[in-house]
């Protein structure tokens, strides 16, 4: 499913009206009817059937006017309150306002703080409050009267339904523009907005219902929208079904360089996830003093003990062994628990110069790259980078807060500049490709914010790449399944006690739900 920002949605509306000759008032009618359907569902659950629709002066308010008319015609007690001077109403919104006036519905305007106080009293007697104030066109924070209006709505204690996006949430980023309506449900028109999906906007949108308002599918396809949601159907089409007549060689050979003194757990979690995601064979390069630990715990993998710079840290004295094993493999992953050393930087440089197979870079490999990002120019094969927000901040020397505010744009620019696939981890993980495509994931839960969760994701990406899944598709499938496994674990044991190992345990069950085997 495609996702749009405020500007792209405006372009889609214009395309529908100008090229497909669909009058704007018809799109507004469809939107208002879609909102009415969702209001009627909620009315069935409410003892208090009174509806208060609070409208702005733009098209979002026009959608609210249409919904008010349909509710009025069905005999639902509905009131409309408009913030601002109605002399500024124009176009389709003005036409629908005029209809409401002729029907003699209960309409009043709010022009000062005294009017807002009157609204507060009226909300006490309402059952459902509809936010039709701002919509996707908002690009500045609420102040004065508008800020007070949003405060009163949020404190009314009633069921709140927002049209398209809660007023005060940026449709293009999900950031809160000073203050915003906290909806119980958001009726999203035609396509999800970035602000509905990204946090913190996603929290304000709460339950999200996407409703078609009649923009032609062809128009959506022609606009070459570059942001998509990862869906279960998408992942089902990516993950291959297994044939009966196969052996471990059919499912790929993975190779991981990981682990250091005190960090063998990261290597183990990564390796376990490689196997649980379906890879046929795994070799793990580990400092030789830690080899016995790995062999005791991880009996399915083949260990490759490496000479050490110092105890528990991989050196480069036997780089030929690393390269030789890599050339016998289908994918290599570097970084989980490897430790931050100058030696690792040299290991990476050699791998970049020699690798013709996909490379997955995580954790300490990313921290090493932060000192020598230009090493990415040496790549001859596709690299998948998996930073969390902190690692991304170190990679590009930008404050964490700025990345959080502009995750999609920053991820897209990085992937295009360095010609890599970037998995920017966090709530609503973002995946960006060198071609400028961006995908947003919605699986996962707060319980996954725990040590080792990222190592598991690295293992899943590596396991899917080993099986021959194309790098971008492997990244999408890995992020989705990682979250889906975490969701299964949260259902089973709750979010508080969830550990990374629980994600590994649930991973094959989550895959089975999608693939059927």
Strand order in the sheet with 253-257: 2-3, 227-229, 438-440, 430-432, 421-424, 383-385, 359-361, 331-334, 253-257, 281-287, 302-306
pLDDT at 342 over 70: yes
Q: Is 131 annotated to bind ligand?
A: yes
Q: What value does the mean pLDDT take over residues 304-320?
A: 79
Q: Is 138 annotated to bind ligand?
A: yes
pLDDT digits (tens, 9 = 90+) for 70-122: 999 999 999 999 999 999 999 999 999 999 999 999 999 999 999 999 999 99
List, as one string, the DSSP characters of 177-193. Answer: SS-----SEEEEESS-B
Q: Is 63 annotated to bind ligand?
A: yes
Q: Is 137 annotated to bind ligand?
A: yes
Q: Is 115 annotated to bind ligand?
A: no
pLDDT digits (tens, 9 = 90+) for 434-475: 999 999 999 999 999 999 999 999 999 999 999 999 999 999
Q: Is 62 annotated to bind ligand?
A: yes
Q: Among residues 467, 414, 17, which one has the least CA distance to residue 216? A: 17
Q: What value does the mean pLDDT take over residues 493-515?
A: 97
Q: Is 442 annotated to bind ligand?
A: no
pLDDT at 278 over 70: yes
List, as one string, the DSSP characters of 202-224. Answer: HHHH-EEEEE--S--HHHHHHTT
- Judged by average pLDDT, the poorest of 1-5, 142-146, 236-240, 505-509 is 142-146
Grade residue 142 by pLDDT with cuts at 50, 70 and 90: low
pLDDT at 307 over 90: no
Q: Is 61 annotated to bind ligand?
A: yes
pLDDT at 408 over 80: yes
Rg (CA), the chain: 27
Question: Residue 172: what pLDDT?
Answer: 93
Question: Residue 169: what pLDDT?
Answer: 96
pLDDT at 52 over 70: yes
Q: Is 141 annotated to bind ligand?
A: yes
What is the rounded average pLDDT for all residues in the chain? 95
Q: Is 144 annotated to bind ligand?
A: no
Cα-Cα end-to-end distance for the chain: 26
pLDDT at 352 over 90: yes
For residues 168, 172, 174, 180, the Cα torsion angle rounded to the nearest 10 degrees is 0
Question: Residue 94: what pLDDT?
Answer: 98
Q: Is 462 annotated to bind ligand?
A: no
Q: Is 214 annotated to bind ligand?
A: no
Q: Is 428 annotated to bind ligand?
A: yes
Question: Residue 442: what pLDDT?
Answer: 97
Q: Is 381 annotated to bind ligand?
A: no
Q: Is 59 annotated to bind ligand?
A: yes
Grade residue 139 by pLDDT with cuts at 50, 70 and 90: confident
Question: Residue 96: what pLDDT?
Answer: 98
Q: Is 179 annotated to bind ligand?
A: no
Q: Is 482 annotated to bind ligand?
A: no
pLDDT digits (tens, 9 = 90+) for 197-240: 999 999 999 999 999 999 999 999 988 899 999 999 999 999 99
Altogether, the residues listed in the chain come to a count of: 517
Q: Is 125 annotated to bind ligand?
A: no
Q: Among residues 481, 72, 407, which one has the least CA distance to residue 239? A: 481
Residues contacting 193, CB < 8 A, separation 6+: 3, 4, 5, 6, 9, 136, 164, 165, 171, 172
Question: Residue 501: what pLDDT?
Answer: 98
Q: Is 266 annotated to bind ligand?
A: yes
Q: What value does the mean pLDDT take over residues 352-357?
A: 97
Q: What value does the mean pLDDT take over residues 124-134?
A: 97
Q: Is 136 annotated to bind ligand?
A: yes
Q: Is 488 annotated to bind ligand?
A: no
3-state secondary structure 393-431: HHHHCCCHHHHHHCHHHHHHHHHHHHCCEEEECCCCCEE
Q: Is 382 annotated to bind ligand?
A: no
Q: Is 231 annotated to bind ligand?
A: no
* All structural domains of the chain: 2-224 (3.40.50.10260), 232-238+250-515 (3.40.1190.20)
Question: Residue 283: what pLDDT?
Answer: 97
* Tokens coding 503: 């994600």
Q: Is 167 annotated to bind ligand?
A: yes
Question: Residue 318: what pLDDT?
Answer: 75
């Amino acid at each position: 499913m495609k996702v749009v920002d405020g500007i792209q949605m405006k372009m889609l509306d214009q395309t529908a009206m100008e090229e497909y000759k669909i009058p704007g008032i018809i799109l507004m009618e469809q939107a208002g009817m879609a909102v009415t359907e969702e209001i009627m569902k909620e009315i069935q659950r409410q003892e208090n059937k009174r509806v208060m629709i609070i409208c702005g002066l733009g098209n979002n308010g026009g959608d609210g006017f249409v919904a008010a008319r349909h509710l009025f015609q069905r005999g639902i007690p509905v009131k409309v309150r408009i913030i601002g001077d109605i002399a500024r109403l124009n176009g389709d919104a003005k036409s629908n306002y005029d209809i409401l006036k002729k029907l003699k519905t209960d309409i009043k305007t709010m022009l000062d703080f005294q009017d807002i106080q009157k609204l507060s009293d009226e909300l006490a007697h309402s059952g459902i409050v509809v936010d039709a104030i701002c919509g996707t066109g908002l690009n500045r924070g609420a102040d004065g009267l508008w800020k007070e209006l949003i405060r009163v709505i949020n404190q009314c204690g009633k069921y709140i339904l927002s049209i398209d996006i809660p007023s005060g949430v940026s449709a293009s980023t999900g950031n809160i523009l000073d203050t915003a309506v906290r909806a119980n449900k958001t009726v999203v028109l035609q396509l999800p907005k970035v602000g509905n999906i990204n946090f913190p906007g996603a929290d304000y949108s709460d339950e999200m219902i996407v409703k078609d308002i009649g923009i032609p599918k062809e128009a959506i396809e022609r606009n070459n929208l570059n942001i998509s949601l990862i869906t279960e159907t998408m992942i089902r089409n990516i993950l291959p079904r297994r044939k009966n007549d196969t052996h471990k060689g059919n499912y790929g050979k993975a190779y991981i360089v990981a682990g250091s003194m005190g960090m063998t757990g990261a290597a183990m979690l990564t390796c376990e996830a490689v196997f649980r995601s379906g890879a046929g064979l795994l070799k793990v390069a580990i400092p030789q003093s830690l080899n016995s630990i790995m062999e005791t715990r991880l009996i399915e993998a083949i260990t490759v003990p490496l000479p050490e710079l110092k105890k528990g840290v991989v050196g480069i004295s036997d780089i030929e062994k690393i390269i030789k094993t890599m050339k016998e493999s289908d994918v290599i992953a570097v970084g989980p628990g490897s430790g931050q050393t100058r030696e690792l930087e040299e290991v990476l440089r050699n791998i970049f110069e020699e690798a013709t197979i996909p490379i997955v870079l995580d954790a300490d490999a990313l921290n090493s790259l932060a000192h020598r990002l230009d090493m990415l120019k040496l790549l001859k094969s596709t690299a998948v980078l998996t930073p969390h927000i902190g690692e991304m901040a170190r990679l590009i020397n930008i404050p964490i807060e700025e990345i959080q505010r502009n995750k999609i744009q920053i991820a897209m620019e990085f992937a295009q500049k360095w010609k890599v696939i970037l998995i920017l981890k966090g709530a609503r993980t973002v995946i960006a490709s060198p071609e400028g495509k961006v995908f947003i994931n919605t699986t996962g839960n707060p319980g996954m914010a725990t040590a080792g969760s990222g190592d598991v994701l690295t293992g899943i990406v590596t396991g899917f790449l080993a099986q021959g899944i194309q790098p971008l598709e492997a990244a999408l499938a890995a992020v989705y399944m990682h979250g889906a496994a975490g969701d299964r674990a949260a259902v089973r044991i709750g979010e508080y006690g969830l550990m990374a190992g629980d994600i590994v345990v649930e991973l094959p069950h989550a895959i089975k739900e999608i693939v059927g085997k």
